[in-house]
Amino acid sequence: MNSPAHQAESAAVQPILTARNLVKRFGSVVALNGADLDLFPGEVLAIIGDNGAGKSTLIKAISGALRLDSGEISLDGASVSFNSPLQARAAGIETVYQNLALSPALSITDNMFLGREIRQKGFAGRWLRRLDRRAMETQAREKLSELGLLTIQNISQSVETLSGGQRQGIAVARAATFGSKVIIMDEPTAALGVKESRRVLELIQDVRNRGISIILISHNMPHVFEVADRVHVHRLGRRLCVIDPKTYTMSDAVAFMTGAKEAPVD
Amino acid sequence: MSETADTPDTSTDAMEVASFDDNRNGAIAWIQRTLHNNPSLVPFTVLLVSIAVFGLILGQKFFSPFALTLILQQVAIVGIVGAAQTLVILTAGIDLSVGAIMVISSVVMGQFTFRYGIPAPLAVVAGLLTGALCGYINGWLVARMRLPPFIVTLGMWQIVLASNFLYSANETIRSQDIAEHASILQFFGNKINIGGAVFTYGVIAMVVLVLGLAYVLNQTAWGRHVYAVGDDPEAAELSGVQTQKILISVYVVAGTICAFAGWALVGRIGSISPTAGQFTNIESITAVVIGGVSLFGGRGSILGTLFGALIVGVFSLGLRLVGTDPQWTFLLIGLLIIFAVAVDQWIRRASA
């Protein structure tokens, strides 16, 4: 579905992430049936689609959580192939999972640096494997302040003492700390109240304004239309169309993704 | 979590959502929070109170350097094995084979020395490797085959214990023979005497081991990963923790520590007996639970286990000196176990 307008756009700015003709089958079920995706630098691309449309499979393919049967993913123009989320992370793609993947009993700092801790320099770090808590706390505090998650009284308090929105904030901050290129967010507002959702949407925009591209998966149309620069409509395992949230309404989008209305051809 | 959803002013709302203030108040909330951050505080308090109470009742008989250090000697083995048990329980597992691994390791040390004539230091290394191997098998079955730790270690317990009897032919190596030919096996029975206080090397080893593990658990990435795996394995995996490797390494370290306990056991009882340490399993779990380590994983401190072991030691000696029926000890320990788990649940509920 490469529209002329879209091609013109991509001629000017190279996409940071592209997926072409992705195929993934689970037994006889075809989850991805030649799916494409384009993500441009510094944009929020929302992915919407009915349940079972293959959104999660698409995201898992990009974040390295599953292996594709065929298809090609390029990051910054170079073809990539991820066998695990760790490899995707090393390449600069971070994922904020719907369940957040935080360890409740560990502190904010511990969680932010889980799996990529900073060790002290010199003997203590090299031989005693001692963590540099101060450096990690300073970085965590900086990052949280940058993202407006300020007024942290106690960065060593455990994550389970935080509210849902705050936890989401920590997960986003962790992704923003390490995600140099792309951050994937899976239903970041699904479990949140109205005000907390608002804060997370602001956070998404903050991160985008810092030049990081974001893929946002959400069922919440008002949220999608509020923050997305473009909306990728996924249907039956492939990209149906990409629409501009300013020129289409939410009910148009829902009609496209459910098949009630023909997709625009422009 | 209290959320001020009914505050009309939206500008302050945004502030509240973004803030990390802990807005739970009151004395009980403060206690919950403090316990949550310092899970070994409960056993520490119980330990101090029990020492004070027995000291008041018994006076000099209990409150002497000799009696107090005797407690340390009596809990040394359980303390070391409890340290291994703590590691496993922190990953939300349980190790029922700790006692058996301890005994077979000490038997290997003895038999290698006396049956095959291998130099005692090498025999000690062989014993430690035996423990590590048993731990590796446990860890491999738990991590790679995804079998429940309870079942794996229940089976391992029987297998190791049976191997122990078959291999040793139920034969005890006498203390005099060890002292004469391979005194290094009794190394941890050596004593330092400081003004009536008697510290065996085994006691010192236990304290050093616990402090060392406390450092590793709190100050290294491996330690944080152990907690993360026990807390929420899926989240840990997605965060980039190599959960299977961590699990296997925990069981290997635990097995090695148990083997080390087997060495210390020779120092404590003098001889090497395949029937020694029958209750070490349950005693180590008791120490861990009384020490405030959560059986659900991810919470607790290894210092708590040390306090837990000492509490049991204080009760045992104190009640014996008072002259009560020893059953009272078990009764009180039973109460303490239930109390400790209740406190753990309370802390968890308060924090969630």
> B220 vs A103: CB contact, 8 Å cut-off?
no
For residue B32, being part of any structural domain is answered with no
Q: B180 CB near a chain A CB, below 8 Å?
A: no
Q: Say which of B19, B224, B234 has its CB closest to residue A106.
A: B224
The mean per-residue pLDDT over the stretch B181-189 comes to 94
Residues of chain A found within 8 Å of residue B351, distances taken between Cβ atoms:
104-105, 158, 160-161
| Closest-approach residue (CA) in chain A for B352 | A160
- For residue A86, what pLDDT band results from cuts at 50, 70 and 90? confident
Stretch 22-61 of chain B: residues touching chain A, C-beta under 8 Å: 22, 33, 36-37
Q: Please say whether the beta carbons of A116 and A132 come within 8 A.
A: no
Model confidence at B29: pLDDT above 90: no
Strands A78-80 and A70-75: antiparallel
> Using the beta-carbon criterion (under 8 Å), do A106 and B231 form an inter-chain contact?
yes
Q: CA–CA separation, A232 vs A256, rounded Å? A: 11
> What is residue A11's predicted lDDT score, i.e. its pLDDT?
53
Q: Which domain holds residue B59?
A: 40-351
Task: Specify burial of residue A88 (Cβ count, 10 A radius: 0-12, 13-18, 19+).
Answer: buried
Q: What is the pLDDT of residue A150?
A: 59
Q: Which of B224, B234, B242, B249 to mutate to test the interface with A (most CBs of A within 10 A)?
A: B224
Least confidently predicted of A19-28, A114-123, A162-171, B342-351:
B342-351
Tokens at residue B276, please? Answer: 């020694």
Rounded to an integer, what distance in angstroms lies between the CA atom of residue A207 and that of residue A222? 19
Interchain contact B13–A (C-beta under 8 A):
yes
pLDDT of A66 over the 80 cut: yes
What was the pLDDT predicted at A98? Answer: 86
Beta strands in chain B (DSSP E): 191-194, 197-200
The per-residue pLDDT for range B250-275, each reduced to its tens digit, is 999 999 999 999 999 999 999 999 99
Q: Closest chain A residue to B90 measured between Cα atoms? A: A105
pLDDT of residue A126: 86
B196-B202-B204 Cα angle (round to 5): 70
pLDDT tens readout for residues B36-47: 778 888 899 999
B143 in Cβ contact with B247 (< 8 Å): yes
DSSP single-letter state for residue B195: T
| Ranges B101-110, B155-164, B272-281: which has the least confidence | B272-281
A131 closest CB neighbour out of B5, B219, B241: B219
For A1-92+215-266, the fitting CATH number among 3.40.50.300, 2.50.20.10, 2.40.50.140, 3.40.50.150 is 3.40.50.300
Q: What's residue B78's pLDDT? A: 97
B284, B101 contact by CB (below 8 A): no
pLDDT surpasses 50 at B337: yes
**Residue among A97, A129, A166 minimizing CB distance to B238:** A97
Q: How far is B3 from chain A (nearest CA, A)?
A: 8
Residue B14 lies inside a defined structural domain of this protein = no
Q: How far does B17 lie from chain A, in Å, by closest CA? A: 7
pLDDT score at B6: 39
Regarding an ipTM greater than 0.90, the answer is no
CB-based contacts of B52, cutoff 8 Å, min separation 6 = none
Model confidence at A165, in pLDDT bands (50, 70, 90)?
Answer: confident
Q: Is the pLDDT of residue B3 over 70?
A: no
Predicted pLDDT of residue B18: 41
For residues A235-264, average pLDDT: 90
Question: CB of B17 within 8 Å of any CB in chain A?
Answer: yes
CB contacts of B5 in chain A (<8 Å) are: 193, 195
Determine, yes or no, domain membership for B13: no
Average pLDDT for A212-233: 94
Q: What confidence category does residue A240 fall into, taking pLDDT thresholds of 50, 70 and 90?
A: very high
% of chain B at pLDDT higher than 90: 78
Per-residue pLDDT, averaged over B184-190, amounts to 95
Q: Rounded to 5 degrees, what are φ and ψ at A28? A: -90, -5
Tokens of B59: 């006076």
CATH number, domain with residue B173: 1.10.3470
**Percentage of chain B modeled with pLDDT above 70:** 92
**A105–B3 CB contact, under 8 Å:** no
| Rounded alpha-carbon distances, angstroms, from residue A225 to A53, A191, A229, B23 | 20, 18, 8, 34
* Cβ burial B60-83 (10 Å sphere, 16+ → b, else e): eebeeeebbbbbbbbbbbbbbbbb
Give pLDDT, residue B352: 47
Mean pLDDT for the stretch of residues A241-250:
92
Task: State the total domains in chain B.
Answer: 1
Kindly state whether residue B274 falls inside one of the protein's structural domains. yes
**Residue B8 within a domain:** no
Contact A103 B240 (CB under 8 A): no
List C-alpha distances in Å: B168 to A190, B172, B178: 62, 8, 16
pLDDT of residue A203: 87
- Shortest Cα distance from A162 to chain B (angstroms)? 7
Which pLDDT score, from 0 to 100, does residue B21 have? 46
User: Residue ranges of the domains in chain A?
Assistant: 1-92+215-266
Size of interface A-B (CB pairs under 8 A): 125
pLDDT exceeds 80 at position B199: yes
Task: In whole angstroms, give the CA distance from residue B141 to residue B253.
Answer: 15
The closest of A4, A13, A11, A1 to A229, measured between CA atoms, is A13
In this structure, is the dihedral angle defined by the CA atoms of residues B272, B274, B276 and B280, taken in order, positive or negative? positive
Best to test chain B binding among A93, A100, A106, A143 (most B CBs inside 10 Å): A106
Weakest mean pLDDT among A115-129, A147-161, B288-302, B332-346: A147-161
Question: What is the model's pLDDT at position A12?
Answer: 66
